[in-house]
Amino acid sequence: MFSYEKKLQYPVKITTPNPKLASYIISQYGGPDGELGASLRYLSQRYSMPYPELQALLTDIGTEGSS
């Protein structure tokens, strides 16, 4: 069995919201040049790589970047 609690590991207290900074942070994660996009490119290139050693390398890079 396990217990699921929906709470943050470290509490976050935002005193004044900053939409401009929030937009920048989100673009770094999910934008076209963000972490998620880069990770998915590595993982998709893995399937066209003919060398098994390099397939493993691309898989490791792609999965490490998305975590």
pLDDT of residue 35: 81
Tokens matching residue 5: 């609690």
In tens, the pLDDT along 3-47 reads 777 788 888 888 999 999 988 888 877 777 788 888 888 889 999
What pTM did the predictor assign?
0.53
What are the residue boundaries of the structural domains of the chain, listed by start? 19-65
Which token pair is 40?
């998915």
Q: Residue 38: is it exposed, middle or buried by C-beta count within 10 angstroms (0-12/13-18/19+)? A: middle
At position 32, the amino acid (one-letter code) is P
Rg (CA), the chain: 17
